[in-house]
Amino acid sequence: MRILITGIAGFAGSSIARNIAMTYPEYDIFGIDNLSRKGSERNVPMLEEYNIRFFHGDIRNKEDLDCLPDADWVIDCAAEPSVLAGTYGSGPSKLISNNLIGTLNLLEYCRTRKAGFILLSTSRVYSINKLNKLNLDDNYQKSRFVNIGMDITPDFSTQAPISLYGATKLASETMALEYHYTYDIPVFINRCGVIAGPGQFGKIDQGIISFWIYQWMKRKPLKYIGFGGKGYQVRDFISPVDVCALILEQMDNPNNPEKITNIGGGRENSISLRELSDWCREKFGYDNEVIESDEERPFDIPYYVTDNCHAMRHWDWEVRNHKEDILNDIYEFAINNREFVESL
């Protein structure tokens, strides 16, 4: 099996590459990354330790893809992953070129090389207005919102607004499916919740679990933004190891008709920001400043937890890496890599 992974020096890409190599050392795994994300270059030596070939290039440039070897599967992990991307700086051009034009170039690679395509998409394709109208209760230990209606399935509304970031990923999904139906390319789309684990760079708008733990270790102030400023907003999170397990199932079953799958930690792996603060306080043994703010941001949502029933039913998949283990792994990484974490 020959596998091309884009964004291979990023957190998700490098983690998935490493786990595939550990599971199937006989596979030929190679990847491409432009190393635009600060810190991503430190993952390249690790990839080489697993005999994973690294190509420095950019999926926005078709010529960079033309130079790559043939693959049986492409796993697209390259993206501007922030919901705030495109709303500041140079505007949406970089976001669109990375997340949509890059994906179109990859689909052309798949068409000409007869490769299958797996897209790491996002829960951010779902309607912000609809998510904000979920039936919520905040009486659970006064530390989180609780959804007393439903968790999110693949048929949840994708009606705008979903953010510019969400729009680029939804457009990429549509094009991938059209390539599947037009050219008979095997295609699978995985709408991921928060992916978290050791080695993640951690930013306020991407990698929030790692960011919170890193900031706590550095004794840097944090902020509960929006929804009353209490930190009740909830996300589920998942290890890239569990994401990789689904991808391996998909590559082994290219004719499975289920093209779009939600994948996340589910209720057992969900946490509010206030609960995360409580965990940090107990783990580190000291308190930290957390500011309560009434500031509202247009793309924020109070609650997102994945309904994994579809993945369990159609892929015989389940969450194996649980909340406490993931949090502890991030903590241990932060403690053992203080210099790196301080540099972020």
How confident is the prediction along the chain (344 residues), in pLDDT tens digits per residue? Answer: 999 999 999 999 999 999 999 999 999 999 999 998 878 899 999 999 999 999 999 999 999 999 999 999 999 999 887 887 777 777 788 899 989 999 999 999 999 999 999 999 999 999 999 999 999 998 777 899 999 888 999 999 999 999 999 999 999 999 999 999 999 999 999 999 999 999 998 776 678 999 999 999 999 999 999 999 999 999 999 999 999 999 999 999 999 999 999 999 999 999 999 999 999 999 999 999 999 998 988 899 999 999 999 999 999 999 999 999 999 999 999 999 999 888 88
Query: Could you give the residue ranges of the DSSP H alpha helices within 97-234?
Result: 102-113, 128-132, 163-183, 208-217
One-letter amino acid at 168 equals: T
Structure tokens at 259: 């093209």
What's residue 206's pLDDT?
A: 72
Mention every residue, 6+ apart, whose C-beta is less than 8 A from residue 234: 144, 145, 146, 147, 270, 271, 272, 302, 303, 304, 305
Residue ranges of the domains in the chain? Answer: 1-126+162-192
Say how many residues make up the chain.
Answer: 344
What's residue 204's pLDDT?
A: 65
Distance CA 222, CA 204 (A): 10
In terms of CATH architecture, what is 1-126+162-192? 3-Layer(aba) Sandwich (3.40)
What's residue 330's pLDDT?
A: 97
Q: What is the dihedral of CA 244, 57, 81, 336, to 10 degrees?
A: 70
Strand partners, 268: none
One-letter amino acid at 67 equals: C
Distance CA 240, CA 80 (A): 18
What's residue 205's pLDDT?
A: 61
One-letter amino acid at 249 equals: E
Structure tokens at 318: 């389940």
Place of tokens 């999110």: 152
Distance (Å) of CA 196 to CA 201, 209, 212, 242, 341: 10, 7, 12, 11, 15
Query: Could you give the residue ranges of the DSSP H alpha helices within the chain?
Result: 11-23, 44-49, 62-66, 93-96, 102-113, 128-132, 163-183, 208-217, 240-252, 273-284, 309-315, 323-336, 338-343
